[in-house]
C-alpha cells in the first residue's frame, strides 16, 4: 500500500478548493516529472501543507517561492520549513499575483501547483498572458480541464481553453491521478500536465485581443455554423478568401485557421 502523508491539524476549506496530496508514490512521480534542479527559479502555487514543497526544496537546494492564500497555512509552512533560508512565502491570491516580479530575462520562472478546480481556468489564463517570463508549468488539474487544454479540432472538448493554451504552449498530459491520492478525496479524477511555452509562436497574430474576441464569440455559439456564430465579428468574405467552409462549426477550425481569421484584412 502506498505511503500517505498525514493532513491532520488543518481542515480543508471548500471555499479555497483544498484537496491535499497525501500519496507519497504520486508525489514522487510528480517531482520526477518536474525534475527540479539547483539554480531553477521556481514558484509553487498553493503549497497547502507542503507535501510537494519539501521535495521541491530538496531538488532546488532550498530556493523556492510559494504563493498561498489561506493565512492559516502560513504559520504551518513557516514552521515546517524554518531551516530553509531561501524559502519565501508570498501571502497572496494567485489570480492577482504579479509573477513577473519574481523573474527576469536570465531567470524565467518554472511554475508548479496543485490548482483548486474552482480557479484553475482563470489562473491559467492569468499565467498565459504573462508568459514571456515563464520557462514551463506543471499543474495538477481536474482531468477534464487537462483534456480540454490538449483537445484537437473536432473533439467535443475542443474550445477556447485549448486554443489559447496551444497558441502559447506545447501541452503534454503526463498521467492521471485518482481521488484516493488526496485528503479529502475529490469526486473526480485529476491529471498532471506540462505546459512549455513555444520559443517561437507557431501561428502568431497581430492582435491577441482580436483572437480572443473571435474565439470567445465562436464558442459561445459552438452549436451554430461559423456563418452564424461569427456574424458581426468576421465578414463572410474572410471565410471565402481563406477557403474556410462557412457551414462548419467552431470546433472544426484549427488554431492556424483562427489565427488566419484574426490576421485577415479586407
CA separation for the pair 209, 231 (Å, rounded):
18
What average pLDDT does this structure show over 160-182?
Answer: 95
* Distance, CA of 239 to CA of 28 (rounded, Å): 49
Lowest mean pLDDT among 1-5, 32-36, 80-84, 106-110: 1-5
For residues 25 and 101, what is the distance between their CA atoms, to the nearest angstrom? Answer: 34
Helices then strands (H, E): number in the chain? Answer: 10, 9
Asked if residue 116 lies in contact with residue 142, where contact means CB atoms within 8 angstroms, the answer is: no
The closest alpha carbon to 56, from 126, 111, 1, belongs to 111
DSSP structure string for 88-110: EEEES-TTT--GGGG-BTTB-EE
Instruction: Assess contact for 177 and 191: CB atoms under 8 A.
Output: yes
Mean pLDDT of 165-178: 97
For the whole prediction, is pTM greater than 0.75? yes
Q: What is the secondary structure of 132-173 as a DSSP string?
A: GGEEEEEEEEEHHHHHHHH--TTSTT-SHHHHHHHHHEEEEE
> Which sequence spans correspond to the domains of the chain?
14-197, 208-263
Closest CA to 134 of 122, 143, 124: 124
Residue 233 has what pLDDT? 93
- Please state which of the four CATH numbers 3.30.1300.10, 3.40.50.11720, 1.10.8.100, 1.10.3720.10 is assigned to the domain occupying 208-263: 1.10.8.100
Per-residue confidence band for 151, with pLDDT thresholds at 50, 70 and 90: very high
User: What is the model's pLDDT at position 62?
Assistant: 81
φ and ψ at residue 141, rounded to 5 degrees: -135, 165
CA separation for the pair 258, 169 (Å, rounded): 16
Residue with cell 521535495: 55
With a cut of 60, say whether residue 11 has pLDDT above it. no
Q: Which CATH number applies to 14-197?
A: 3.40.50.150
What is the tens place of the pLDDT at every residue in 216-247? 999 999 999 999 999 989 999 999 999 999 99
pLDDT at residue 10, rounded to an integer: 47
Question: What are 59-105's pLDDT values in tens digits?
Answer: 998 889 999 998 989 999 999 999 999 999 999 999 999 999 998 88
Amino acid at each position: 500500500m502506498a505511503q500517505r502523508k498525514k493532513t491532520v491539524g488543518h481542515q480543508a476549506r471548500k471555499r479555497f478548493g483544498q484537496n491535499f496530496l497525501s500519496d507519497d508514490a504520486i508525489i514522487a512521480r510528480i517531482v520526477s516529472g518536474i525534475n527540479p534542479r539547483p539554480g531553477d527559479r521556481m514558484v509553487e502555487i498553493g503549497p497547502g501543507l507542503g507535501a510537494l514543497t519539501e521535495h521541491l526544496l530538496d531538488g532546488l537546494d532550498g530556493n523556492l517561492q510559494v504563493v498561498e492564500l489561506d493565512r492559516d497555512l502560513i504559520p504551518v509552512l513557516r514552521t515546517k520549513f524554518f531551516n530553509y533560508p531561501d524559502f519565501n512565502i508570498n501571502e497572496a491570491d494567485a489570480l492577482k499575483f504579479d509573477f513577473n516580479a519574481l523573474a527576469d530575462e536570465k531567470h524565467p520562472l518554472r511554475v508548479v501547483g496543485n490548482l483548486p478546480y474552482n480557479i484553475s481556468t482563470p489562473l491559467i489564463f492569468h499565467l498565459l498572458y504573462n508568459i514571456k517570463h515563464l520557462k514551463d508549468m506543471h499543474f495538477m488539474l481536474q482531468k477534464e480541464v487537462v483534456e480540454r487544454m490538449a483537445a484537437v479540432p473536432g473533439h467535443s472538448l475542443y474550445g477556447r481553453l485549448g486554443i489559447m493554451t496551444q497558441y502559447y504552449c506545447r501541452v503534454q498530459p503526463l498521467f492521471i491521478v485518482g481521488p484516493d491520492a488526496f485528503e479529502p478525496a475529490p469526486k473526480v479524477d485529476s491529471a498532471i500536465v506540462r505546459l512549455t511555452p513555444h520559443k517561437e509562436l507557431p501561428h502568431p497574430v497581430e492582435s491577441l485581443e482580436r483572437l480572443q474576441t473571435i474565439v470567445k464569440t465562436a464558442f459561445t455559439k459552438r452549436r451554430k455554423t461559423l456563418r452564424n456564430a461569427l456574424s458581426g465579428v468576421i465578414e463572410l468574405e474572410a471565410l471565402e478568401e481563406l477557403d474556410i467552409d462557412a457551414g462548419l462549426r467552431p470546433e472544426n477550425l484549427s488554431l492556424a485557421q483562427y489565427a488566419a481569421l484574426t490576421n485577415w484584412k479586407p
